[in-house]
């Protein structure tokens, strides 16, 4: 479970990176300090080896050095092989450099045959072996012998001069430095892990909020939303997108529930009519005229039910994207004129004047589907109009669009109802339900057809002055 947790994975990666950084920093700092310590020791060894080599160099023969006329000969060396204190070559007392020093320097000198000719009293018990056992060794080299740092050099006559010093104090200081660095690194690692845990917890807190909100929504509470305090962060943007999705789901489920309820109500009415008529007719013997009247009533109820079912199936196909369109070049003016001619008898029957003002409006569309839209709009404009009213139909073009407007001078639509008239089964006047034989799905189907063409349908209205429906279809696809 630990490795499946995002918090633990972030913590592990954070800890691993922190350990690598601290280890790299500590190792580099320790190596630099060690190099600095050894460099100081090596400088001291080089200085003493140079002085010791100069003190062992024999004086020139003949009183004058070769190629150096006018120089006086140095005094002969003493019994220990070192030039006397008054000589020119040794500028410091070699014995003071090695036997009376606080830093623990020591020296050993071997003759070419491998015999120790001179050594300091503080030298190591195990001595360096000269050639031929060191055949192939470099003429000068630093080396470590236990806790001692040594530098040896072979002189031209074949002597081997070694200078060394115990570096135990330096090693002790380096170990102490390493211990302090380990302690400091441990403290930094602990603080870093604690801070990383706090940051990881704070970073994934929105995930827990999203999970809790999704669980509540999955449990049926579609009104619940994610409380996003940081709207500009990545999680805030994700929460905003999810809240928008949840809102659409809530609206969709609410619409579906209302749609199911309305569809059940609309279907129940014709079914009730059919059942009541058949039960009344079958209760006793009837005349032929009564049976005919009952059959005609059941036929009208069945036809209404069929229209409703066909509309529901058509909307279901639109929602599933299964409704096919055969788009072809057409003129909305011609299409609207044909629809107006078909609807005109119905307008005359209702006492409504139908006035057309059609200009060429070419577009790419499915003529059968757009004819259905025009029939729905014209029928609604006639039905929801006053006696002696007018319905004006116009067509024209706008940039990239063909436009149709259907205007009536009826009672109009209230502002609160105007935003919902394209919803399924919605009627602004509840008393009109079933009065005209409509299903309440005409505008919803018209909106789906127009949007499937890439267009838009809009409605505007003023109470007491009438309404206007505006359809825009792209002139090209």
Alpha helices for 57-114 (secondary structure H): 94-98
Question: Is residue 329's pLDDT more than 70?
Answer: yes
Res 417: pLDDT: 82
Are 30 and 180 spatial neighbours (Cβ–Cβ below 8 Å)?
no
Kindly state the tokens that stand for 272.
């009730």
Q: Which residues contact 128 (CB under 8 A, 6 or more apart)?
A: 108, 110, 150, 152, 160, 162
Cα gap 267→223, rounded to integer Å: 30
Are 83 and 74 spatial neighbours (Cβ–Cβ below 8 Å)?
yes
Res 20: pLDDT: 92
Backbone angles phi, psi at 391, to 5 degrees: -130, 115
The per-residue pLDDT for range 456-474, each reduced to its tens digit, is 999 998 888 889 999 999 9
Kindly state the tokens that stand for 476.
């090209």
Question: Is residue 301's pLDDT more than 90?
Answer: no
Res 394: pLDDT: 93
Are 392 and 467 spatial neighbours (Cβ–Cβ below 8 Å)?
no
3-state SS, residue 104: coil
134 Cα distance to chain centroid: 67
DSSP for 439-457? -S-HHHHHHHHHHHTT-EE
Peptide bond connecting 132 to the previous residue in cis, omega within 30 degrees of 0: yes
Share of the chain above pLDDT 90, in %: 16
Alpha helices for 219-287 (secondary structure H): 234-282
Res 81: pLDDT: 40
Question: Is residue 340's pLDDT more than 70?
Answer: yes
182 Cα distance to chain centroid: 37
* Residue of higher predicted confidence among 126 and 458: 458
Helix 168-218 × helix 6-56 angle, to 10°:
170
Question: Is residue 252's pLDDT more than 60?
Answer: yes
Q: Which residues contact 269 (CB under 8 A, 6 or more apart)?
A: 301, 304, 434
Task: Order across the sheet with 140-145: list the strands.
Answer: 116-119, 105-110, 160-166, 148-154, 140-145
Res 405: pLDDT: 93
| 56-70, 125-139, 295-309 — most confident range | 295-309
Kindly state the tokens that stand for 318.
């639109």
For 153-166, the three-class secondary structure string (H helix, E strand, C coil) is: EECCCCCEEEEEEE
Residue 128 is given by DSSP the state P
Set out the domains of the chain in order of their start, with CATH numbers.
Answer: 1-58+76-216 (no CATH), 234-319 (1.10.287.130), 325-474 (3.30.565.10)
The per-residue pLDDT for range 138-155, each reduced to its tens digit, is 778 888 888 888 888 888
pLDDT averaged over every residue in the chain: 78
Per DSSP bridges, beta strands 160-166 and 105-110 are antiparallel
Cα gap 414→425, rounded to integer Å: 17
Question: How many separate helices (H) and strands (E) can be counted in the chain?
Answer: 9, 12
Res 58: pLDDT: 64
Which residues does residue 329 pair with via DSSP β-bridges, in sequence order?
A: 364
Res 103: pLDDT: 65
Res 128: pLDDT: 55
* Lowest-confidence segment of 138-152, 171-185, 252-266 by average pLDDT: 252-266
Backbone angles phi, psi at 355, to 5 degrees: -115, 130
402 Cα distance to chain centroid: 43
Res 79: pLDDT: 39
Res 59: pLDDT: 61
Which residues does residue 469 pair with via DSSP β-bridges, in sequence order?
A: 406, 459
Q: Is the dihedral of CA 328, 330, 336, 342 positive or negative?
A: negative
Res 109: pLDDT: 84
Residue 114 is given by DSSP the state S
Confidence category of residue 431, pLDDT binned at 50, 70, 90: very low
Which residues does residue 357 pair with via DSSP β-bridges, in sequence order?
A: 394
Res 129: pLDDT: 53
The per-residue pLDDT for range 95-124, each reduced to its tens digit, is 555 654 556 788 888 887 778 888 877 776
Res 83: pLDDT: 43
* Lowest-confidence segment of 62-66, 78-82, 152-156, 268-272 by average pLDDT: 78-82
pTM of the predicted structure, to 2 decimals: 0.49
Per DSSP bridges, beta strands 353-358 and 390-398 are parallel
Residue showing tokens 């036809």: 303
Average pLDDT for 422-451? 68
Q: Is the dihedral of CA 225, 231, 236, 238 positive or negative?
A: positive
Res 72: pLDDT: 35
Nearest CA-CA partner of 134 in 120, 117, 154: 154
Cα gap 123→116, rounded to integer Å: 12
Question: Is residue 403's pLDDT more than 90?
Answer: yes
CA angle, 57 as apex, 51 and 63 as ends, to 5°? 125
Question: Is residue 179's pLDDT more than 70?
Answer: yes
Question: Is residue 87's pLDDT more than 60?
Answer: no
Kindly state the tokens that stand for 183.
């302690």
Average pLDDT for 12-37? 90
Res 464: pLDDT: 83
Average pLDDT for 298-318? 78
Residue showing tokens 């002696």: 388
The per-residue pLDDT for range 345-392, each reduced to its tens digit, is 889 988 999 999 999 999 988 888 888 899 889 988 998 888 888 999
* Residue of higher predicted confidence among 166 and 267: 166
Average pLDDT for 250-260? 74
């Amino acid at each position: 479970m630990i490795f499946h947790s995002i918090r633990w994975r972030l913590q592990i990666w954070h800890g691993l990176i922190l350990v690598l950084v601290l280890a790299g920093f500590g190792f580099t700092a320790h190596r630099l300090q060690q190099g600095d310590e050894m460099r100081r020791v090596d400088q001291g060894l080089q200085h003493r080896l140079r002085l010791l080599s100069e003190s062992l160099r024999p004086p020139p023969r003949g009183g004058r050095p070769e190629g150096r006329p006018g120089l006086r000969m140095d005094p002969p060396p003493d019994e220990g092989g070192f030039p006397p204190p008054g000589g020119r070559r040794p500028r410091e007392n070699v014995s003071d450099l090695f036997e009376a020093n606080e830093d623990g320097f020591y020296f050993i000198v071997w003759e070419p045959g491998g015999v120790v000719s001179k050594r300091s009293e503080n030298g190591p018990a195990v001595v360096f072996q000269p050639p031929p056992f060191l055949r192939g060794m470099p003429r000068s080299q630093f080396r470590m012998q236990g806790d001692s740092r040594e530098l040896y050099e072979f002189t031209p006559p074949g002597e081997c001069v070694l200078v060394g010093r115990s570096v135990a104090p330096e090693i002790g200081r380096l170990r102490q430095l390493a211990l302090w660095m380990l302690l400091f690194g441990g403290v930094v690692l602990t603080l870093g892990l604690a801070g990383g845990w706090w940051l990881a917890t704070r970073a994934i807190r929105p995930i827990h909020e999203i999970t809790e909100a999704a669980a509540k929504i999955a449990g049926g509470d579609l009104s619940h939303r994610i409380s996003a305090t940081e709207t500009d962060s990545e999680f805030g943007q994700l929460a905003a997108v999810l809240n928008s999705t949840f809102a659409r789901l809530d609206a969709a489920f609410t619409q579906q529930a209302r749609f199911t309820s309305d569809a059940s109500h609309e279907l129940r009415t014709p079914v009730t009519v059919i059942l009541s008529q058949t039960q009344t007719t079958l209760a006793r013997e009837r005349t032929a005229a009564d049976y005919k009247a009952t059959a005609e009533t059941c036929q009208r109820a069945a036809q209404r039910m069929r229209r409703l079912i066909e509309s529901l199936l058509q909307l279901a196909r639109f929602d599933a994207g299964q409704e096919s369109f055969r788009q072809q070049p057409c003129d909305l003016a011609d299409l609207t004129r044909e629809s107006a001619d078909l609807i005109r008898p119905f307008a005359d029957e209702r006492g409504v004047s139908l006035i057309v003002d059609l200009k060429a409006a070419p577009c790419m569309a499915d003529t059968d589907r757009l004819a259905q839209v025009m029939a729905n709009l014209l029928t609604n404009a006639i039905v929801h109009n006053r006696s002696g009213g007018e319905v004006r139909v116009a067509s024209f073009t706008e940039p990239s669009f063909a436009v149709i407007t259907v205007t009536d001078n009826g009672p109009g639509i209230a502002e609160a109802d105007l935003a919902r008239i394209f919803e399924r089964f919605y009627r602004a006047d509840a008393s009109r339900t079933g009065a005209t034989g409509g299903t309440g799905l005409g505008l919803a189907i018209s909106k789906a057809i127009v949007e499937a063409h890439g267009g838009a349908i809009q409605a505007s209205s003023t109470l007491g002055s009438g309404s206007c429906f505006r359809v825009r279809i792209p002139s090209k696809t």
